[in-house]
Amino acid sequence: MTADSAAPSGSRPPAGPRHVAIIMDGNGRWAKARGLPRAVGHREGVQALKRTIQAAPDLGIQCLTVFGFSTENWSRPPDEVSDLMGLVRTYVASDLARLEKAGVRLRVLGRREGLPADIAAIIERAEAQTAHNDRFLLQVAFNYGGRADLIDAARRHMQRMLAGETIEPIGEADITDGLATAGSPPLDLIIRTSGEQRLSNFLLWEAAYAELVFQDVLWPDYGPKALEEAVLIFRQRERRYGGRAVEPARVSA
Ligand code: IPE
Ligand code: IPE
Ligand code: MG
């Protein structure tokens, strides 16, 4: 019997991905297709998010980063912006206790300036309440833009220079450690729903060697099955990081 067949099924470490990011897109089109207001699409999107978060740990995922509101989404009509802000209240009120109990640490990525004061306070409370958890990291990008985050990281380094804390020119680690995602596992997979194939200013630096999977499903229809499908696609990819494919070991004569 080989060591392989002796291993109990499911005992192998999962083949990844550890860190998955999702651009949750298509709420508006989902609502439109049903003759419903866009707000209903966004509300259903929150249900899809809850399903997806619950399914992630069973697939071996340790960190999930989702795009909730971009720095460019402020350009939407004021009533839609206010609907989207309101979802933070609804989501935190309805899911925080469960997240806390499930060992999830919640971290919100993005600039706090510009957010309504009560939303900023809700975010801070939720982060503090789950800060001790380490079983799973949930990062919600809200008022987030990849470019803004890179600018903030560069500015932080510049401030350290001005304060005399360093004289080193900015390097790769200064950026990585200065981003909102600092400390999270390297990004393995970015999923975008709804059929659009672009990053829309999401995780620009972190995306460097992430695999991209585009799924045709609209976000409110997303859930465990779709996530598993994306993970299986990821597991078939060969990640080369600019190197060469791993060749099978030669058998010597
Ligand atoms: C994604 O759905 C949610 C946010 C951008 C906040 P959209 O609202 O972008 O839905 P579509 O792309 O118009 O269908
Ligand atoms: C990206 O979706 C932002 C979020 C999912 C929060 P958008 O719908 O705003 O992106 P574009 O405008 O189609 O690029
Ligand atoms: Mg969209």
Residue 227 falls inside a structural domain: yes
Nearest residue to 41 (alpha-carbon basis) of 190, 198, 193, 183? 193
The CA 138 to ligand 3 mean position distance, Å, reads: 21
Does residue 67 contact residue 22 with C-beta atoms inside 8 Å? yes
Closest ligand 2 atom, CA of 67? 6
Residue bearing the CA closest to ligand 1, atom 13: 28
Q: Report the pocket of ligand 1 as residue ranges, CB < 6 Å.
A: 24-29, 69, 73, 84, 194, 219
Work out how many domains the chain is built from and give that number: 1
Q: What average pLDDT does the segment 5-28 reach? A: 76
Mutate to test the pocket of ligand 2, among 27, 73, 88 (most ligand atoms within 8 A of CB): 73
Give the end-to-end CA distance of the chain in Å, rounded to a whole number: 25
Is 206 marked within a binding site?
no
- How confident is the model at residue 251, as a pLDDT? 62
Residue 225 falls inside a structural domain: yes
CATH number (domain holding residue 160):
3.40.1180.10
- How confident is the model at residue 184, as a pLDDT? 98
pLDDT one-digit tens code per residue, 185-243: 999 999 999 999 999 999 999 999 999 999 999 999 999 999 999 999 999 999 999 99
Closest ligand 1 atom, CA of 68? 6
Print the domain residue range for 204: 14-235
Is 12 marked within a binding site?
no
Protein residues near ligand 3, an ion, with CB under 5 A: 25
137 phi, psi to nearest 5 deg: -110, 120
Global pTM value = 0.93
Residue 202 falls inside a structural domain: yes
Write out the H or E segment, with its range, that includes residue 234: helix 224-236
pLDDT one-digit tens code per residue, 163-191: 999 999 999 999 999 999 999 999 999 99
Would you state the torsion angle of the CA atoms of residues 237, 240, 242, 244, taken in this order, to the nearest 10 degrees?
A: -120
Is 111 marked within a binding site?
no
Does residue 206 contact residue 230 with C-beta atoms inside 8 Å? no
Quickly tell me which residue has 């008022």 as its tokens. 143
Q: What average pLDDT does the segment 92-97 reach? A: 91
Residue 83 falls inside a structural domain: yes
Nearest residue to 106 (alpha-carbon basis) of 82, 79, 141, 77? 141
Residue 39 falls inside a structural domain: yes
Residue 105 falls inside a structural domain: yes
**Would residue 25 show up in a list of annotated catalytic residues for this protein?**
yes
Residue 246 falls inside a structural domain: no
181 sits in the region (left: phi over 0; alpha: psi -120 to 50; else beta) called: alpha
Residue 141 falls inside a structural domain: yes
Mutate to test the pocket of ligand 2, among 22, 25, 199, 219 (most ligand atoms within 8 A of CB): 25
Mutate to test the pocket of ligand 1, among 23, 30, 194 (most ligand atoms within 8 A of CB): 194
Task: Answer yes or no: is pLDDT of 2 > 70.
Answer: no
The CA 32 to ligand 1 mean position distance, Å, reads: 11
